[in-house]
Amino acid sequence: MDEPDEIEQQVIEVCQGCGASLVEMPIVEWQCAQVHDVVPIEIRVKEHQVAVKQCVCCGQRNQAAFPVGVTNRVQYGSRLRSLIVYLMDYQLLPSARVQELLSEVLGCSLSEGTLYETRQACFELLEVVEAGIFEALQQAEVAHFDETGLRVNGKLMWLHVASTQALTYYFIHPKRGSEAIDAMDILPQFEGTSVHDGWRSYALYGCVHALCNAHHLRELRFLVERYQQGWAEQMMTLLVTMKTSVEQAQAQGQTQLSAETITQFEAQYQDLIATGMKLNPANPVANARGRPKQTPARNLLERLETHQAEVLRFIHDFRVPFDNNQAERDIRMMKLKQKISGGFRSAAGAQFFGRIRGYLSTLKKQGHRLLDALEQLFLGHPISLNLQPE
């Protein structure tokens, strides 16, 4: 049991058996039960007074300095401001619900303008921090990339993510493809291994590539359930077996699979593709665009064959994961946000969210307490992040 902050004792004065008085009887022992509760929360007003003195020699008026962060005659403190950002950009609450929560819990009425100004201040304070995350991702050995749609003032835009196990960077752009990736400016400078899905825009960049096998497993499962493709089920089994072999080797302290094991896996992979190709021959008839329309099975087979190196990168390099789940987890919250509070009313609000959320995600990955880190940011002492390339 925890050390109590308060003790309340209950005494007994009458015997429950015979009714005799127990007033003078000594207490044999105490039976204890603890209740954990929240103390009443309220806004505290702290007034900072700085002394003003006039020099008797020259007449100069001299004023002491206000603490860092105290810039107005009346303002909200760093802890409340950090709570506003935490509720809106981490818990994804819309502004009206944040106003209601603060009114109910703290008894303070904040305007929507105050919420907006607080997030804008946080956004501006994070400019240098975000630049550090951006540079670290450019230099990472392995990084994950993905994108998803979001609504800004009723129009479709795209949230792009670049991330590792320790870093997250978000970028919002009207486009999904190479124009947005170029503007984001991580992949154009990237020399490590880029892990992503099969979206063709990613393949335009000269880094090493690794494709997400979670996507392949989903496509293979579809072919098994919809078209009863036996080779697809065997390919699923083979990919999972490869993944298990890598995990077992890593658990044993190994840094690579044996050349013989890799050769066997690649031979099985190629045999299954050859089997699938025979069962799903190419369609030679061109469509209106001048290209033959292929079946889903044939399309997947051709992709697995053409991009074998990218599909099997994870068995050659243990730094490369089996899938792109890291980026998918980092970007999934945007769908959740849109379910909870809808889209953004302005491009500026979307930009605020992208930078702040990237910082909060990075803090979380590195084990920092979010509210404490935000408070230190508003106080002018942002915590040090681990920005070493992974």
DSSP readout, 174-236? S-SSHHHHHHHTSGGG--SEEEE-S-GGGGGSSSEEEE-HHHHHHHHHHHHHHH--HHHHHHH
CA gap 323, 198 in Å, rounded: 12
Helix (H, G, I), strand (E, B) or coil at 378: helix
| Mean pLDDT, residues 242-269 taken together | 97
Percent of the chain whose pLDDT exceeds 90? 84
Confidence (pLDDT) at 67:
87
pLDDT at 370 over 80: yes
Under DSSP, the state recorded for 86 is I
Task: Provide the whole-model pTM.
Answer: 0.87
Give yes or no for a contact between 159 and 331, defined as CB atoms under 8 angstroms apart.
yes
Which residues, 6+ apart, have CB-to-CB distance to 365 below 8 Å?
165, 166, 167, 168
pLDDT at 320 over 70: yes
Identity of residue 213? N
Confidence (pLDDT) at 75:
74
pLDDT at 29 over 80: yes
Residue with the two structure tokens 């920005």: 387
CA atoms within 13 A on the CB side of 270: 7
Token pair listed for 26: 């000594």
Of the ranges 150-154, 163-167, 273-277, which one carries the lowest mean pLDDT score?
Answer: 150-154
Q: Helices 347-365 and 112-125, interaxial angle, to 10°?
A: 60
Of the ranges 196-210, 297-311, 331-345, which one carries the lowest mean pLDDT score?
Answer: 331-345
pLDDT digits (tens, 9 = 90+) for 237-250: 999 999 999 999 99
Question: For residue 215, which of 295, 300, 305, 276 has the smallest C-alpha distance?
Answer: 300
pLDDT confidence tier of residue 390, bands split at 50, 70 and 90: low
Identity of residue 171? F
CA atoms within 13 A on the CB side of 169: 25
Give yes or no for a contact between 164 and 130, defined as CB atoms under 8 angstroms apart.
no
Return the CA Rg of the chain: 30
Long-range contacts of 272-275 (CB under 8 A, 24+ apart): 272/231, 272/234, 272/235, 272/238, 273/301, 273/304, 273/305, 275/231
Question: For residue 326, which of 218, 132, 167 has the smallest C-alpha distance?
Answer: 167
